[in-house]
Amino acid sequence: MCGIAGVLGASDLALAEAETKRMIGGLLHRGPDGVRYETVRGHALAHARLSIIDLEGGWQPIHAGGATVIGNGEIYNYIELAADHDLNSVLSTGSDFEPLAHLYAREGPKAFRRLRGMYALCLIGADGRVFLARDPFGIKPLYVRELPSGVAFASEPAALMPPPHPAPDKALVEDLLTLGYRTGDAPFGATSLDPGEVAEVRDGVLIRHVDRLPRAPGPARPKPNDEAAALIALDSVLENSVAVHQRSDVPYGLFLSGGVDSSIIATLMARLNARPVTAFTCGFDVPGAADERQRAERIARSLNLDWRETTFTEEDFWRLAPRVAGALDDPTTDYACLPTLKLAEAAKGVLTVVLSGEGGDELFAGYGRYRRALRPAWLGGRPPTPRARMPALADRGGAAVARWEAKAANAAPTRLARAQESDIRTWLPNDLLLKLDRCLMAEGLEGRTPFLDREVADFAQSLPDGMKVRGRLGKWLLRLWLQRHCPAAEPFARKQGFTVPVASWIAPRSADIGRRISDIAGVRAVCPAERITHIFSDDSEAGSRWPMLFYALWSLIQIDGESADSAVKIVTGGV
C-alpha cells in the first residue's frame, strides 16, 4: 500500500514536477518508507512507498517491457501471472506490479483484466498510451483533477489542491448529512475514478470509462446443486482468497470483531499458518455498550490466536474524533471510523498488513435491509432505499436519496441481488472501504479484504438467494461453514448490533457544543444556528449529534485549516 501522485500530459514539465512533489508531500503517511520521483515522456510521477512485497527491489516507478507503472495496493495473483505467461525469465524484481508491465507490452490494455487484487495505478506504455485504473470494488482510491498544466492524479483528494480548500458543494453536504457518505464528486474540485474504471489520458485530456473491469472473471460459475456441494466449494474459494491475501514480506494479522466475517477469516488464517496469528479487537468502556471482546476472546482461544484487546474510552473519543476528520478528506460520518483508527494505533509496530471482513455482508447478504427487500409490502417489506439520518436536513434529504437511487440503480436478476448491487455501488466504496483505507493509512498500515476478491465474488454470484438468506438469517451458507469449522463463533446466535456509544460521550457537554458549533461558519452555511442548538439540547435529536459534530470538525480542519487539537478545542472549549 502506498501513495501515488502525478501530472500526465504536462504542458509545462517543470511546473508538473513541482506540483507532483507538492502532492506526494501530502501523502507521506501512506508511504512512510520512502519516496521516488520521476519524469517519463512528458509525465511527472511520484510514489510514496509502504514496503510490503520485495522490500529491496520493489521500488516504483517500475520500468519493464517498455512500460512504466506506479501503483497503490497489491496485485495478489502476480505469482500466477508470471508463471502462466512465462514471465519469470524476464522479471527483474519480485514486485507484484512488474508482471503487469510485461503483460501490457504483449496485450495492451486487455492486461488490466487479468489482475486480481486491490489497486489504483498509472501505466505509461511503450506505445505512448497512458492509463489510470482502479480495482473493480474500489478498495483503493484514485482521484483526478484536470489542470491547465495537465491531468493530475493522487491517492487522496486533498493532495490535488493546496490549501485553502474551497467549501464543499451543496450536494456533497446533503449526501454526507443525509446518507453518511457522498454519491457524487469528491471534495476540493476532485473527481473519483469509479470502481473498476479504466481511464486514458490523451494529449493532456482525460478520457473517462475507456473500460470497466469486471468484479468476477467470466464465464459465470455454474450454480451449486445443493448445500453440501456449496460448502465444499465455499471452503476452497475462501481458503484460496485468504492464502493470496496473506502474501507479504512483512508481518500480517487481522482485526477480529467476533462477527461471522472476521471469524471466518481468523479460522482460515489459523488453518494456513503454523504460528499463532495476531488478532486485535476493540471494546468500549461505556456500561451497556455493545462490546465484542468476550466473543472475540472465545474465538481466539479456540483457534490459538495471539489475541490482543484494546479499549476505546471517552478520552479516546475526543482525541481521535478530530484525527478521523483530518484523515477523511473524502468524508463519511460512519462512527465505525473511530474504533478502526484506535485498532490501527494498537496494531502499528506489531503488524504492517491487516486482514479485515469488509464485503462479507454485501456479497453474502448479511444486512437486515436485504431480508426486508424480500418480504411483500404487507409484511413490512420495502426497497433498501436509505432513510435520512439527519433531521436537520429533512427539507433537503430527498435530493440526496434521489441521487443515491440514481447511483444504485441496476438490473440484477432478483430483488435480493438488486439490493446487494445497490450497496456495492454506493455504501461499500464510499463508506466502508474509504473508512478502512484512510484510518489504516493514517498509521501506515495496509488493509486487505479477502471477501472482496474476484474468485469469491464469482462464487457468491452463483449462489441462489436461498443459500444467502434463510428465514430471519442472512449469510446462511457462511454461517453453516463457520458452525462446522469454528463452533466457538456461535454463528447462529443472535447478533449483537455494532454501535459506537458516541451519544454517551457527547451528552454531558452537548448544550455547550451546540452553541459553539452554531458559531462555525461552515456549519451555519448548511444548517440554521437555532436548528443546531436544538439538536444538541433536545435528547430526541441525539442521533443527529455525531454527524453534525463530525461535520463541524471536518469543516474546521479541511476548509479552515485548523489543526486537530485546535478544532476539538473550538467545538468543546477544551477537553
pLDDT (tens digit, 9 = 90+) per residue, 361-375?
A: 999 999 999 998 888
Higher pLDDT, 498 or 177: 177
User: What is the model's pLDDT at position 382?
Assistant: 77
DSSP conformational letter for 528 = -
User: What is the model's pLDDT at position 446?
Assistant: 98
User: What is the model's pLDDT at position 396?
Assistant: 62
Q: Tell me the average pLDDT across 519-538.
A: 91
Q: List the grid coordinates of 91.
A: 522479471
Residue 16's identity, in one-letter code, is A
Residue 369, C-beta contacts closer than 8 angstroms, at least 6 positions apart: 384, 419
The tens digit of pLDDT for each residue in 197-233 reads 999 999 999 999 999 999 998 888 888 889 999 999 9
DSSP conformational letter for 277 = P
The tens digit of pLDDT for each residue in 155-197 reads 999 999 999 999 999 999 999 999 999 999 999 999 999 999 9
User: What is the model's pLDDT at position 378?
Assistant: 74
Residue 393 pLDDT > 70, yes or no? no
Burial of 252 (0-12, 13-18, 19+ CB in 10 A): buried
227-307+341-489 CATH: 3.40.50.620
3-class state of residue 178 by DSSP: helix
User: What is the model's pLDDT at position 390?
Assistant: 57
Q: How far apart are CA 108 and CA 229, in angstroms?
A: 39
User: What is the model's pLDDT at position 476?
Assistant: 98
Q: Tell me the average pLDDT across 121-126.
A: 98
Q: How far apart are CA 306 and CA 346, in angstroms?
A: 14
Phi, psi values for residue 43, rounded to 5°: -120, 140
Q: How far apart are CA 551 and CA 569, in angstroms?
A: 15
Percentage, residues of the chain above pLDDT 90: 87
Given pLDDT bands bounded at 50, 70 and 90, which one contains residue 388? low
Given pLDDT bands bounded at 50, 70 and 90, which one contains residue 70? very high
User: What is the model's pLDDT at position 575?
Assistant: 65
Q: How far apart are CA 3 and CA 29, in angstroms?
A: 8
Q: Tell me the average pLDDT across 133-151.
A: 96
Burial of 529 (0-12, 13-18, 19+ CB in 10 A): middle
Given pLDDT bands bounded at 50, 70 and 90, which one contains residue 285? confident
User: What is the model's pLDDT at position 380?
Assistant: 72
Q: How far apart are CA 335 and CA 321, in angstroms?
A: 9
In the chain, the N- to C-terminal Cα span, in Å, equals: 35
User: What is the model's pLDDT at position 337?
Assistant: 98
Q: How far apart are CA 495 and CA 508, in angstroms?
A: 30
Residue 499's identity, in one-letter code, is T
Percentage, residues of the chain above pLDDT 70: 97
Given pLDDT bands bounded at 50, 70 and 90, which one contains residue 561? very high
**Cis amide linkage into residue 164, ω under 30° from 0:** yes
The tens digit of pLDDT for each residue in 245-278 reads 999 999 999 999 999 999 999 999 999 999 999 9
User: What is the model's pLDDT at position 461?
Assistant: 95
Given pLDDT bands bounded at 50, 70 and 90, which one contains residue 122? very high
Q: Nearest CA to 45 among 74, 77, 2?
A: 2
Distances (CA, A) of 254 to 32, 241, 265, 343, 429: 21, 14, 8, 10, 20
The tens digit of pLDDT for each residue in 34-56 reads 999 999 999 999 999 999 999 99
Domain 2-212 in CATH: superfamily? Aminohydrolase, N-terminal nucleophile (Ntn) domain (3.60.20.10)
Q: Tell me the average pLDDT across 460-481.
A: 96
Is the full-model pTM beyond 0.85?
yes
Q: Tell me the average pLDDT across 307-336.
A: 97
Report the DSSP pairing between strands 252-255 and 353-355: parallel
DSSP E strands in 392-496: the ranges are: 446-448
Q: Nearest CA to 271 among 309, 242, 248?
A: 242
HSE, side-chain direction, 13 A CA sphere, residue 110: 4
Average pLDDT of the chain?
Answer: 94
Q: How far apart are CA 186 and CA 144, in angstroms?
A: 10
Q: Tell me the average pLDDT across 384-412.
A: 78
Given pLDDT bands bounded at 50, 70 and 90, which one contains residue 496? low
Domain spans of the chain?
2-212, 227-307+341-489, 502-572
Q: List the grid coordinates of 375.
A: 418480504
Nearest-Å Rg of the Cα atoms of the chain is: 23
User: What is the model's pLDDT at position 225?
Assistant: 85
Q: List the grid coordinates of 464.
A: 441462489
Yes or no: say if 59 and 120 are a contact pair by the CB < 8 Å rule. no
